[in-house]
């Protein structure tokens, strides 16, 4: 791929992220993205077959970090997995705030697409880590509530990472690890 094509692809992703953040995924068309980039819709479609492909490209770094986190958790014993999952997930969502917001913005039907199959598997592994690998329904439900709650707070609360991270970790530990702050 030539340097010009790489720059155009990167510019499409940068502009799409801005427009998705400003107007939402559903509120942004391919035409809007192309117009803002200053290219034709055909040029945009050369780089990305459809709008979903742009979203997938935008969230790919976060997805890869989730893969890495789940791999790290696989090597942690049952006693330490909750704490490792809490710390790792809080760090991940703080690092990828924009991407997490984009995922929350898309319709539930989109999240059922085959492209998200692996993300659902990874999320299930993260739930298991938050639940301390417990099969208990209450532990698993608490894990899901905490994962969703942490993501929602990170999207909504614009405080800097240094201030927000300790509070999120303490709240998750209080909820999931009895007697540990």
pLDDT in tens, 15-36: 999 999 999 998 999 999 999 9
Give the model's pLDDT for residue 107.
Answer: 67
Count the neighbouring beta carbons within 10 Å of the beta carbon of residue 6: 11
User: Which domains are delineated in the chain?
Assistant: 1-48 (1.10.10.60), 56-176 (1.10.357)
Nearest 5°: phi and psi at 38?
90, 30
- In sequence order, what are the residues at sequence separation of 6 or more whose Cβ sits closer than 8 angstroms to the Cβ of residue 168? 90, 94, 150, 153, 154
pLDDT in tens, 52-106: 899 999 999 999 999 999 999 999 999 999 999 999 999 999 999 999 998 888 8
Give this prediction's pTM. Answer: 0.88
Give the integer Cα–Cα distance in Å for 34 and 103. Answer: 22
Higher pLDDT, 60 or 178: 60
| Model confidence at 181: pLDDT above 60 | no
């Amino acid at each position: 791929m030539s340097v010009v094509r790489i720059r155009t692809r990167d510019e499409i992703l940068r502009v799409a992220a801005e427009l998705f953040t400003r107007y939402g995924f559903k509120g942004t068309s391919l035409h809007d993205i192309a117009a803002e980039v200053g290219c034709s819709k055909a040029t945009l479609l050369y780089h990305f077959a459809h709008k979903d492909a742009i979203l997938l490209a935008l969230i790919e770094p976060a997805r890869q970090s989730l893969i890495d986190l789940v791999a790290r958790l696989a090597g942690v014993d049952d006693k330490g997995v909750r704490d490792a999952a809490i710390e790792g997930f809080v760090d991940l969502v703080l690092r990828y705030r924009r991407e997490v917001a984009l995922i929350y913005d898309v319709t539930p039907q989109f999240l059922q697409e085959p492209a998200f199959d692996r993300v659902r598997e990874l999320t299930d592994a993260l739930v298991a880590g938050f639940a301390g690998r417990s099969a208990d329904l209450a532990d698993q439900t608490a894990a899901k509530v905490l994962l969703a709650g942490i993501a929602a707070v990170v999207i909504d609360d614009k405080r800097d990472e240094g201030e927000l991270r300790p509070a999120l970790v303490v709240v998750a530990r209080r909820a999931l690890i009895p007697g540990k702050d």
